[in-house]
């Protein structure tokens, strides 16, 4: 489904954020990206739908991600940013969640249905008329997830979906993610969630992949975890 080949990215200030990343994700796979702050997880996710474009290649299905195909690929890969303020910009929750559907020309009735369903799925039913700016951080994160869920993309890339959520909200999101059929890639520090629903984990450190394999093996290896800042 996704092929990343020899991908490197240097920010404008010269910082090398990811280096020679090579990863393959199959259709329907659920993979967690973990690693210390600054490891490059967010930078990598931002490449999956063309927000950043580094050296090397990213392929989604048969399509190479380049300038011409960005629009097409954004319909296939839904990305939820680490900070919901980067995702929400409309006057109402409805407008934010409906935005992509309106852009796609989906009919009104279907839009209302899909927005309502997505908000319900993230535990924010009936919040259509609220202002995104006036939501709490956890509420904003849920609405940000709804904006992408309602597009029904083949791949969901989520940056720290459970960070800042209360225990019940976190549980709701974990159950929701566990039930999704889509290919799911998430960046997270929530190792308990990783243990529970992600059979494969990729550990990144200093811009490189240092482990890619079964979650059970990684989480049993305290030396590995300690070496990469995953144990307190
Ligand atoms: N806009 C930017 N300009 C310059 N450097 C950046 C920028 N964004 C990120 N970086 C740097 O790139 C590296 C990777 O950052 P990134 O945000 O991808 O890490 P991360 O693994 O997502 O960390 P976290 O767990 O804190 O979210 C870090 O060293 C960071 O300081
Ligand atoms: Mg990050």
For position 109, what pLDDT does the model report?
Answer: 97
Mean pLDDT of 137-146: 94
Q: How many residues does the chain have?
A: 232
Work out the average pLDDT over 42-66: 90
Report the nearest-CA residue for atom 25 of ligand 1.
Answer: 37
- For ligand 2, the distance from its centroid to the CA atom of residue 38, given in whole angstroms, is 7
Whether 70 has a pLDDT exceeding 80, the answer reads no
72 pLDDT band, cuts 50/70/90, is confident
What is the overall mean pLDDT for the chain?
A: 94
Q: CA-to-CA distance for 77 and 135, rounded, in angstroms?
A: 26
Instruction: Return all residues near 156 (Cβ < 8 A) that are at least 6 apart.
Output: 77, 78, 80, 148, 149, 180, 182, 183, 184, 185
- What whole-number distance in Å separates Cα of residue 216 and Cα of residue 206? 23
Q: What is the mean pLDDT of residues 222-228?
A: 96
pLDDT at position 65 is 74
40 CB near ligand 1 (under 6 Å) = yes
Q: Which of 34-38, 108-112, 164-168, 185-189 has the lowest mean pLDDT?
A: 164-168
**Ligand 1 contacts CB of residue 185 (under 6 A):** no
Task: Provide mean pLDDT across the span 20-33.
Answer: 97
Instruction: Tell which one of 10, 11, 188 to mutate to probe ligand 1, the residue whose CB is within 8 A of the most ligand atoms.
Output: 11
Residue 197 has pLDDT above 80, yes or no: yes
pTM above 0.85, yes or no: yes
Smallest CA-to-CA distance from 34 within 178, 198, 222 is with 198
DSSP codes, 51-90: SS--EEEEEETTEE--GGGHHHHHHHEEEE-SSGGGT--S
Cβ 42 under 6 angstroms from ligand 1: yes
Structure tokens at 22: 């090579």
What is the pLDDT at residue 144? 96
Q: For ligand 1, say whether the CB of 37 is within 6 Å of any of its atoms.
A: yes
Q: What is the CATH number of domain 2-227?
A: 3.40.50.300
The response to whether residue 33 sits with its C-beta less than 6 Å from ligand 1 reads no
- Percentage of the chain with pLDDT > 90? 84
CB atoms near residue 56 (< 10 Å): 17
Is any ligand 1 atom within 6 A of the Cβ of residue 43?
yes
* Rounded Cα gap, residues 49 and 173, in angstroms: 22
What is the SS3 assignment for 163? coil
Q: For residue 148, give the nearest of 181, 122, 178 by alpha carbon.
A: 122
CA distance 89 to 71: 20
Of ligand 1's listed atoms, the one at least distance from the Cα of 18 is 14
**Nearest Cα residue to 40 out of 206, 229, 161:** 206
Q: Delimit the domains of the chain by residue range.
A: 2-227
Instruction: Take atom 16 of ligand 1 and give the residue whose Cα is closest.
Output: 40
Q: List the one residue out of 41, 62, 43, 65 whose CA is nearest residue 52.
A: 43
CB atoms within 10 A of CB 181: 8
């Amino acid at each position: 489904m996704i092929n990343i080949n020899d991908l490197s990215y240097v920010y404008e200030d010269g910082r090398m954020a990811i280096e020679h990343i090579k990863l393959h994700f199959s259709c329907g796979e659920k993979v967690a990206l973990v690693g210390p702050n600054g490891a490059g997880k967010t930078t990598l996710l931002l490449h999956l739908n063309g927000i950043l474009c580094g050296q090397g290649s990213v392929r989604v299905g048969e399509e190479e991600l380049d300038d011409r195909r960005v629009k097409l690929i954004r319909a296939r890969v839904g990305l939820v940013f680490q900070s919901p303020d980067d995702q929400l910009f409309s006057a109402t929750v409805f407008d934010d969640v409906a935005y992509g559907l309106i852009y796609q020309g989906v009919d009104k009735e279907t839009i209302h249905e899909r927005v309502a369903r997505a908000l319900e799925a993230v535990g924010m039913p009936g919040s259509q008329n609220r202002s995104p700016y006036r939501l709490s951080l956890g509420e904003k994160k849920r609405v940000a997830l709804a904006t992408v869920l309602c597009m029904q993309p083949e791949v969901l890339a989520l940056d720290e979906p459970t960070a800042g959520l209360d225990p019940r909200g976190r549980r709701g999101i974990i159950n929701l993610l566990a039930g999704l059929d889509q290919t799911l890639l998430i960046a997270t520090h929530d190792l308990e969630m990783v243990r529970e629903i992600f059979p494969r984990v990729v550990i990144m450190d200093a811009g490189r992949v240092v482990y890619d394999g079964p979650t059970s093996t990684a989480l049993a290896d305290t030396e590995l975890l300690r070496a990469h800042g995953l144990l307190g």
